Structure 1
Amino acid sequence: MAEGHDVQWVEVTEGQVGQRVDNFLMTRIKGAPRALVYRIVRKGEVRVNKKRVKPDTRLVLGDVVRIPPLRLSPREAVQEVSDNLRNLLAGSVLVEGRDWLVINKPSGLAVHGGSGVKIGLIEALRQVREDLDFLELVHRLDRDTSGCLLLAKSRPALLALNASLKQQQMDKRYLALVAGRWPARRDFVAARLDRFTLGNGERRVRVDAEGKVARTRFAVREAFAGTTLVEAEPVTGRTHQIRVHAAHAGHPLLGDDKYGSRESQRQTAGLGLSRLFLHAETFAFPEPSSGRPVRIRAPLPDALEAVLARARRAD
């Protein structure tokens, strides 16, 4: 059945059932960018049971996938995981179940590659965790946000967790440091959000009456001189929701270079903050196979704890 020394013939196992062909290939071909995966599928170089397929074709148990030999140029190859990143990710696993895991995502690391990002968390984890045949994001965090990020290690787990997410059975709480004194009586922001693109291609979000429904609950955790530590619970899951809702309420997040104000930028510099102060502190969800409740907490990074200590001293 072999066509050459570099052609791979891979049989689909139980853990890969239901996976899309493109995601299956991303896991199997280390270093291949998604654009290249789409190209070899479109050209018919990838076959399932000797037949042409599409990137979104779902695999079934026992399928035999032909993976062609690939020679990646340095320009198009996904960046190899550095030793520092490998060690960082290995130490960032908060809790791991049989078919899921929760990572304490570092700030500054995108969850996936693309748009100039050579390697994201999911691509890096697929390189680090070579023991896993399946690894997919259940949800996303902004590049500059740290904290709890849930991933599925099997297709059934991904489907179950996605269903829980859509049915609002997950509880996500974030910590954010905002400009000004957040009024204790303002515990809810409901403002429709619309995504748009700037002239330079950068994606932004704004409050717009024609946008999608978005709701966020806020609670004051601690008040300082000129800033407030709040807990934010996104009831809906829109892009940049917490950041835009806080800015809309007149209290932008410190360290926010997209939606901040001159005052928030001044306070950011004054407190020695060098990143967005937004951290996914707790995450609760029903365990995909048993349904039992799981609640996980990611401690606040030392750099953000230091900022709070400085805010308390300035109080």
Structure 2
Amino acid sequence: MAQNVQFLTVSEDEAGQRLDNYLLARLKGVPKSLIYRVIRKGEVRVNKGRAKPERKLAGGDVVRVPPVRVAESPEPVPISKTLKGVLDNAVIADEPGYLVVNKPAGLAVHGGSGVTLGLIEALRQAFPQYSYLELVHRLDRDTSGCILVAKKRSMLRYLQELFRGEKRIHKRYLALVIGRWPSRRNLVDAPLLRKELQSGERIVRVSLDGKPSKTEFNVVQRFGESATLVEARPITGRTHQIRVHAQHQGHPLVGDPKYGNEVFDLSVKKLGVNRLFLHAAGLSFKNADGEQVNIEVPLPAELQSVVAAFDGHFNQAGSVE
């Protein structure tokens, strides 16, 4: 469907964006190549003048957008009453600039690649009173726990900038790993390389060609020689970082279908292991006003049950330290 010429006024909340990124966000369904072509040909104007893709926009700028053909967007999959109820209870903080959501395991953060409805699409339907909702960061589909969702573009920029700097946002995870994690092994510093298989599946491996990656691990509770509950604090933010670093140390996560130990997981199925044992338990950072924000999300019931079952099974078996 072709649009007419549009004149878009950049809001203060949208200020600071590059022209190309601004158009990509506003012209959903338009191929990226077409957007760059109309900019290059001068059909896009900023305040009546030609502009380059990297031009930073200011509040009050008027952007002329020529008629472009926008692909028809499919109707979004409607959210179920059950999921609406889950999300109503999952919002643990509703601040002026952001939401903190306790994401359930099994829900992808966004749609695509065979996923018809992700967390962000569901939140937009569940909370239509918010005109702007965007993910600040991501969690793996099988990981539960706290995730930040921006309610304003300016807050999105602010929080994402914090995530880019080491130790400006502190993330804390709880994970159950196979075997006895040694007390002395606190820091794992191993570069990670992400590859995409022909099937489209993403796989991450430790590789000298990878990006620098660091995770701090600390022992929380041991279950004899069989398993250890650890706290993981990723210093960098690579895909599958905690899972691959734990595997690299010889202690893969319990219930991990990609990097785990299938034989061990089958042997403890009776103890309630039916998902990846990885939970985003906490975030801490300073908000835009300089105030310290500390977010804590306890283990969900199904993981608490696993901890209790491991404690009873392995410790009563006499394999405690």
Category of TM-score, reference length = shorter chain? 0.7 to 0.9
Query: Quick one: distance in 2 between partners of 1:85 and 1:187?
Result: 38
Query: Quick one: distance in 2 between partners of 1:296 and 1:15?
Result: 26
Alignment of 1:17-28 (within 5 A): 17=15, 20-24=22-26
- Asked whether the 8 Å contact 1:22–1:56 carries over to 2, the reply is no
Query: Quick one: distance in 1 between partners of 2:260 and 2:285?
Result: 32
Helix, strand or coil at the partner of 2:256 = coil
With normalisation by structure 1, the TM-score equals 0.82
CA 18–268 in structure 1, closer or farther in 2 if over 3 Å, else same: farther
The Cα shift of 1:57 comes to 8.7
Q: How many residues align?
A: 298
Aligned match of 1:104 in 71, 95, 102? 102
The Cα shift of 1:212 comes to 1.0
Which deviates more, 48-57 or 59-68?
Answer: 48-57
The Cα shift of 1:133 comes to 2.5
One-letter amino acid of the counterpart of residue 277, structure 1: F
The Cα shift of 1:304 comes to 0.5
Query: What is aligned with 2:201?
Result: 202
Query: What is aligned with 2:141?
Result: 143
With normalisation by structure 2, the TM-score equals 0.80
Helix, strand or coil at the partner of 1:131 = coil
Which has the greater radius of gyration? 2
Helix, strand or coil at the partner of 1:91 = helix
- Asked whether the 8 Å contact 1:112–1:120 carries over to 2, the reply is yes
Helix, strand or coil at the partner of 1:88 = helix
The Cα shift of 1:78 comes to 2.9
Q: Output one character per residue of 1:177-210: Cα deviation in whole Å (capped at 9) or x when no partner.
A: 1111111111111111111122322110011122
CA 37–275 in structure 1, closer or farther in 2 if over 3 Å, else same: farther
- Asked whether the 8 Å contact 2:254–2:261 carries over to 1, the reply is no
Which deviates more, 150-159 or 174-183?
Answer: 150-159
Is 1:132 matched up with 2:130? yes
Query: Quick one: distance in 1 between partners of 2:69 and 2:89?
Result: 34
Q: CA RMSD in A?
A: 3.2
Q: Quote the sequence identity (%).
A: 47
Query: Quick one: distance in 2 between partners of 1:203 and 1:161?
Result: 26
Helix, strand or coil at the partner of 1:122 = helix
Alignment of 1:1-315 (within 5 A): 13-17=11-15, 20-24=22-26, 36=29, 38=31, 61=59, 63=62, 76-168=74-166, 169-225=168-224, 226-287=226-287, 289-314=288-313, 315=315
CA 107–24 in structure 1, closer or farther in 2 if over 3 Å, else same: farther
- Asked whether the 8 Å contact 1:214–1:237 carries over to 2, the reply is yes
**Structure 2 unaligned runs (5+)?**
39-43, 316-321
